[in-house]
Amino acid sequence: MSLVLWLLPGPRSSHSTSYICPGAWRARTWQGPPVASVGAPAYDVVVVGAGIVGASCAHRLAEAGLSVCIVDRGPVVSGTTGAGEGNILVSDKEPGPELDLALLSARLWHELAGTLPDAVEIDAKGGIIVTSSEAGLAVLVAAAERQRGHGIVADVVDREQLADLEPHLSPVVLGGVSYPQDMQVQPMLAAAHLLRAARALGADVKPRTRMVGVERARDGAVRGVVTDAGTIACRHLVNAAGTWGGEVASLAGGPVPVLPRRGFILVTEPLPPTVHHKVYGADYVANVASDSAGLETSPVVESTRAGTVLIGASRERVGFDRTTSYDVLGRLAAQAIALFPVLAGVRVQRTYGGFRPYCPDHLPVIGPDPRVDGLVHACGHEGAGIGLAPATALLVTQAITGEATTIPIGAFSPSRFGEAA
């Protein structure tokens, strides 16, 4: 059993055998006609995927009074959430729907910071984008100007100010833009504690339970989620399967194009305070938005509460190839040392990698699927799923309960891919 599972209250058994019997059954029962193979009791919602997005959805839905079951084919946070860095960024977003989502999410992370335990390490440390060239600085300043009218605080900083903010930064760095709204969180612990909070509100968490299909009523509406441990009757299915959201969507009859974008991280030995903000190179923003399938790397450096320094970031489209690339790791190390020469003598403690769930237009898929009544998507967040999880959960909950959504969700709709996707 994974360590994070031990954070969940209640019995520690992680296996369901044949029939799934919800423990969180409440007053809201299924109102429609019966379906032979799906028996009551039922849940209002089954969430597929216990990463940060699924955990946030389960928590928010349970808070709204819905009966919720969350299933994951593996242990909780066994997907990309266990391979992310934990940045909650507004700095890398251009004005538009994703920035609106990021600003909403940043606000919700602040609220969560007041309710989740300190162990989730929410840290409003701020981010700084830096550059060593005049041309690069002009690009950063222009981006900051565009962002400022849209709720982002962006302060241009020169070399002297940078030396105060980050004393170990290389003197070749010319300047940058500081973004005090950027934050950091420990994503695995955040997801585990959100699951714990959801469970305290009555949600059921079922690890090692793989969704393999969907039961649909005669009118095509979702009536149950078929798993390798039995069928779970429900009214809504939330697809929070991250990089595997495309597979789950197809199983549910509403395909969406979600693909893997591989990334690696280097983790140093614990150090005394050395890097105080999330510091990243100007190339990072261009890489995030790039459509290139080839390898792209840019320096992203930040410390954790434990003292380790996380070094990223690489992006490449190589399918689900998990082979460690020493070439990529070497590039990441070199770029980090160019930014922080002090890191040259530091030992690497471990490396890890994962697959960002990306859609061709780099926007997540959030909201009801018009092709399948009861299917709601919450996947495809690429390199921003940790940051965007609370806002996604709010919008999913609002869509399910029929409330007006806090921000428009049209740009995230699965309809944008066309009928067949």
Ligand X SMILES: Cc1cc2nc3c(=O)[nH]c(=O)nc-3n(C[C@H](O)[C@H](O)[C@H](O)COP(=O)(O)OP(=O)(O)OC[C@H]3O[C@@H](n4cnc5c(N)ncnc54)[C@H](O)[C@@H]3O)c2cc1C
| Chain contacts with ligand X (rule: CB under 6 A) | 48-54, 71-74, 78-81, 83-87, 210-211, 240-244, 248, 263, 265, 312, 354, 356-357, 379, 381-387
Could you tell me if residue 367 is left (phi over 0), alpha (psi between -120 and 50 degrees) or otherwise beta?
left
Cα 312 to chain centroid, rounded: 16
Smallest distance from ligand X to CB 294, Å: 17
DSSP state, residue 415: G
d(CA 217, CA 10): 34
Cβ closest to ligand X, residue 175 vs residue 260: 260
Amino acid at 339: L
For the bound state, the minimum distance from the C-beta of residue 174 to ligand X, rounded and expressed in Å, comes to: 25
At closest approach, how far in Å is the CB of 31 from ligand X? Answer: 27
Q: How far is the CB of 79 from ligand X (least distance, A)?
A: 2
Q: Hey, what's the torsion of the CAs at 279, 285, 287, 290, to 10 degrees?
A: 170
| CA dihedral for 392, 394, 396, 402, sign (positive or negative) | negative
Please say which residue, 223 or 381, places its beta carbon nearer to ligand X.
381
Question: Closer CB to ligand X, residue 137 or residue 359?
Answer: 359
Consecutive H or E run containing 392 = helix 385-401
Place of tokens 């335990």: 117
Torsion of CA 12, 15, 19, 22, to 10 degrees: 30
What's the Cα-to-Cα distance from 301 to each of 266, 276, 335, 395, rounded to whole Å?
10, 10, 10, 31
Nearer to ligand X, 77 or 137 (CB): 77
- Least distance in angstroms from the C-beta of 204 to ligand X: 14
Nearest residue (CB) to ligand X, 159 versus 276: 276
Residue 177 or 258: which CB sits closer to ligand X? Answer: 258
Residues 6+ apart with CB under 8 A from 63: 201, 397
- In whole angstroms, the minimum distance from the beta carbon of 308 to ligand X comes to 14
Residue 133 β-bridge partners? none
